[in-house]
Amino acid sequence: NAGVTQTPKFQVLKTGQSMTLQCAQDMNHNSMYWYRQDPGMGLRLIYYSASEGTTDKGEVPNGYNVSRLNKREFSLRLESAAPSQTSVYFCASSPEGGAEAFFGQGTRLTVV
Amino acid sequence: GESVGLHLPTLSVQEGDNSIINCAYSNSASDYFIWYKQESGKGPQFIIDIRSNMDKRQGQRVTVLLNKTVKHLSLQIAATQPGDSAVYFCAAQLHGYNKLIFGAGTRLAVHP
């Protein structure tokens, strides 16, 4: 079973460039999430989607936009990348609130 | 909101010993808690969860204890093995909110 799939796995961007991180889950989960993980820190929630058609800001939403394209897919867009957005990005999904979240393998993004 | 913290950034144990990893949360309205394990280069993996109507839950070699009075939870790993070496995160979810807030993580190092 694929679970949560993220693409790409690695990416280098120049400051000011834009890109979209893709995430898809095949578990028919309602909720999806985007986190970022920086060295020495836990995972910080960027945006989440409780169900298809809804999105909400998390702890660190500035500089990002998201799209819940359908139940399976939840994308994260950086419109104008900054070095401060260098991080590892994780997508996750869960059946509903109050349930275990399953994580993808991460996207390592470097902005130079 | 909710914030989650861990007492120690690094924990070193001898193989075969028991490990205890601690976590504190700030909001008494949090009603769901999860422990995750993250190995190098991978996404977090679910270990065990507990709801606020419980004080203790046991899995295979792991036990989670929840003390709502002092807003503290702990993860106990019995007979720690080299394969348990990883970073461990606790996460908390506020009642009615469909998002998990993570702590900074504790790195568990198991020595032979």
Can you tell me the distance from the alpha carbon of B107 to that of B88, in angstroms, rounded to the nearest whole number?
A: 6
Contacts of B93 in chain A (CB under 8 A): 97-98
User: In this structure, what token pair is assigned to residue A58?
Assistant: 């998390």
Write the CB contacts of B58 (distance below 8 Å, at least 6 apart in sequence).
none
User: In this structure, what token pair is assigned to residue A85?
Assistant: 């957005």
Please answer yes or no on whether A42 and B89 come within 8 Å at the CB atom.
yes
Contact of A50 with A31, CB cutoff 8 Å: yes
Please answer yes or no on whether A106 and B34 come within 8 Å at the CB atom.
no
Among positive and negative, which fits the CA dihedral B28, B75, B5, A34? negative
- In this predicted structure, the answer to whether residue A9 has a pLDDT above a threshold of 90 is yes
Q: How many CB atoms lie within 10 A of CB A21?
A: 22
* Residues of chain A with a CB closer than 8 angstroms to some CB in chain B: 4, 31, 33, 35, 40-45, 48, 50, 56, 58-59, 90, 92, 94, 96-98, 100-106
Please answer yes or no on whether B103 and A97 come within 8 Å at the CB atom.
no
Please answer yes or no on whether A58 and B99 come within 8 Å at the CB atom.
yes
Please answer yes or no on whether B104 and A41 come within 8 Å at the CB atom.
yes
Write the CB contacts of B93 (distance below 8 Å, at least 6 apart in sequence).
A97, A98, B2, B30, B31, B32, B33, B34, B99, B100, B101
Interface test with A, best of B10, B57, B100 (most A CBs within 10 A): B100
Q: What pLDDT, on a 0 to 100 scale, did the predictor assign at position A97?
A: 66
Q: What pLDDT, on a 0 to 100 scale, did the predictor assign at position B103?
A: 86
Q: Over the stretch B20-75, which tens digit does the pLDDT of each residue have?
A: 999 999 888 899 999 999 999 899 999 999 999 999 999 999 999 999 999 999 99
Contacts of A46 in chain B (CB under 8 A): none
- In this predicted structure, the answer to whether residue B7 has a pLDDT above a threshold of 60 is no
Contact of B84 with B60, CB cutoff 8 Å: no
